[in-house]
């Protein structure tokens, strides 16, 4: 996958947006500048037309005609003008005036632009009145005149071009300064992220210690990521340490089992023995092999549960938890009778758990067997179930020896034997409760244990329900 720089993308994006805004504002500013200059230009045209009106004088003839006095005309050399009477009589015009200009004014040139000899002009038509023979109290004779006037737009074009150059240079300077500022600000702003990345890159299997940098924690957006990384690294460290401990313990258990089998075989081979001695020795090896097989199967069960997804597991079916507990109680009835322990069932009917039969049976069997093994003669083991719309719950309570509070947080750890409930004298592999915890976790449930030394243990398992169930209760006791 092609990589890219986030800082570079941000800088380019900001500069692109700023460029578009600069283009838009520059266009609006130039349109406004043009409008203002044209208004000023129109005022100038009106002023020059008024000066032409002032140059219209009495011709001093008997008909009281008017004429355009050349001495009173002081206009720009490139200006175009014509002074005429409404009758069409021309009083005067500029040297460049021709029929093309006349046709433009005839079409209505007032306030409009046109081209003449490759130059742009703007025209104005002024209707004025000149008083002739005005003397003292005599107002004189009013003689209307029409002035067609046009001037080149060159000054306006130059002014707009100068404004465009100024805006272009100023906007370019702003973009340059913005780019430089963004570069340094982003470098400074990305420093906490870079330090966080450097701290994360230093993590390795020998050292899972991760301490988020203070500057990363000071940024609210990065603090969430830093805390998430810290939590993930802590979980990974715990998982790695657990896996390492598990591998070491599994290797030790397997080595012990193999050593026992090897020692038994060496002992049989040490000297000639009778057929009965060989038979007893082989039976002992067979028992040890069965123990080794049990250990391997439990290890494989743990591995399968940890590698499967919830959807893969739940797709395997559902189980009536109450029926499973009844069957387990019947299977272990002889063990309960041998140990002098009574088993009490307080079960709701049709408590369907989202567990496949194999996992449900393993879970129930391990928990009930563990309770029986650690309940002294004359004690009691109570099994109960209940259901809600979303979950089902199983409780196993015994009146056994209990668990020391210091060992209670670790009873679900693999091969943990700090407590009497995990001692080798029970004949277990140290994986039963660990498998129960793995099954419950794999299916999104919870398992809780409460215990007091000398007063017994209560274990509660909650798993997702397959469907809502009625609470029809049955109670009976299996007495030893």
56-65, 247-256, 331-340: least confidently modelled range: 56-65
Neighbours of 436 (CB within 10 A): 22
- Cα 389 from Cα 407, distance rounded (Å): 35
CA-to-CA distance for 150 and 121, rounded, in angstroms? 6
User: How many other C-beta atoms are found inside a 10 Å radius of the C-beta of residue 67?
Assistant: 15
Confidence of residue 424 (pLDDT cuts 50, 70, 90): very low
Residue 382 has pLDDT above 90, yes or no: yes
In Å, how far are 16, 24, 154, 378 from 167, measured between CA atoms? Answer: 17, 12, 20, 99
pLDDT per position as a tens digit, 288-324: 788 777 777 777 776 766 665 555 555 567 889 899 9
Kind plus residue range of the DSSP H or E element containing 131: strand 119-132
**Which range is least confidently modeled, 370-374, 427-431, 468-472?**
468-472
- 462 pLDDT higher than 70: yes
Q: What is the pLDDT of residue 27?
A: 93
Q: Return the structure tokens found at 132.
A: 């002739």
Contact status, residue 347 vs residue 323, Cβ threshold 8 Å: no
Q: Which of 71-75, 133-137, 152-156, 352-356 has the highest mean pLDDT?
A: 152-156
Class (C level, CATH) for 311-478: alpha beta
Residue 420 has pLDDT above 60, yes or no: no
β-pairing verdict for 342-348 and 380-387: parallel
Count other Cβ atoms within 10 Å, centred on residue 149: 26
Entry pTM: 0.49
Percent residues over pLDDT 90 in the chain: 18
In this prediction, residues 238-247 reach a mean pLDDT of 72
Q: What is the average pLDDT across 441-445? A: 85
Mean per-residue pLDDT, 21-26: 92
Q: What is the mean pLDDT of the chain?
A: 81
CA distance 321 to 56: 119
Residues across the chain: 480
Residue 423 has pLDDT above 50, yes or no: no
SS3 184: helix
For residues 457 and 397, give the distance between their C-alpha atoms in angstroms, rounded to a whole number: 6
- What lies within 8 Å, CB to CB, of 64 at 6+ separation is 58, 132, 133, 141, 143
Mean pLDDT of 26-55: 90
């Amino acid at each position: 996958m092609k990589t890219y720089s986030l800082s570079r993308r941000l800088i380019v994006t900001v500069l692109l947006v700023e460029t578009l805004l600069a283009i838009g504002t520059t266009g609006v500013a130039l349109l406004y500048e043009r409008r203002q200059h044209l208004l000023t230009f129109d005022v100038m045209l009106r002023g020059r037309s008024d000066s032409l009106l002032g140059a219209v004088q009495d011709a001093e003839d008997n008909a009281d005609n008017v004429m355009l006095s050349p001495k009173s005309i002081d206009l720009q050399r490139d200006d175009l003008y014509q002074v005429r009477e409404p009758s069409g009589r021309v009083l005067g015009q500029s040297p460049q005036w021709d029929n093309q200009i006349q046709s433009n004014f005839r079409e209505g040139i007032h306030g409009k632009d046109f081209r003449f000899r490759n130059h742009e002009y703007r025209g104005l038509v002024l209707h004025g009145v000149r008083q002739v023979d005005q003397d003292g109290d005599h107002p004189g004779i009013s003689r209307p005149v029409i002035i067609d006037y046009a001037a080149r737009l060159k000054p306006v074009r130059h002014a707009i071009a100068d404004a465009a150059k100024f805006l272009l240079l100023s906007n370019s300077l702003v973009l340059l300064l913005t780019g430089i500022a963004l570069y340094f600000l982003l470098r400074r702003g990305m420093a906490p992220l870079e330090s966080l990345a450097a701290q994360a890159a230093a993590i390795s299997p020998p050292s899972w210690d991760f301490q988020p940098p203070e500057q990363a924690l000071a940024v609210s957006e990065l603090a969430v990521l830093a805390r998430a990384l810290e939590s993930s690294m802590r979980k990974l460290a715990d998982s790695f340490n657990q896996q390492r401990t598990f591998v070491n313990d599994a290797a030790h258990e397997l080595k012990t089992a193999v050593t026992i089998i090897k020692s038994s075989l060496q002992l049989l081979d040490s000297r000639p023995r009778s057929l009965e001695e060989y038979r007893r020795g082989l039976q002992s090896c067979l028992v040890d092999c069965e123990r080794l097989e049990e250990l391997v199967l439990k290890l494989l069960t743990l591995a399968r549960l940890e590698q499967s997804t919830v959807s893969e597991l739940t797709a395997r079916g559902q189980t009536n938890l109450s029926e499973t507990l009844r069957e387990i109680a019947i299977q272990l009835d002889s063990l309960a009778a041998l140990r002098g322990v009574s088993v009490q069932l307080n079960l709701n009917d049709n408590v369907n758990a989202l567990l496949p039969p194999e996992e449900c049976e393993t879970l129930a069997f391990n928990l009930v067997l563990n309770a029986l093994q650690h309940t002294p003669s004359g004690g009691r083991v109570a099994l109960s179930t209940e259901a809600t719309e979303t979950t089902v719950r199983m409780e196993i309570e015994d009146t056994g020896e209990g668990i020391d509070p210091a060992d209670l947080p670790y009873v679900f750890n693999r091969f943990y034997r700090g407590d009497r409930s995990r001692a080798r004298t029970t004949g277990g592999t140290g994986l039963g409760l660990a498998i129960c915890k793995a099954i419950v976790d794999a299916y999104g449930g919870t398992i809780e244990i409460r215990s007091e030394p000398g007063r017994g243990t209560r274990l509660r398992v909650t798993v997702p329900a397959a469907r809502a169930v009625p609470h029809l209760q049955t109670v009976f006791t299996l007495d030893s």
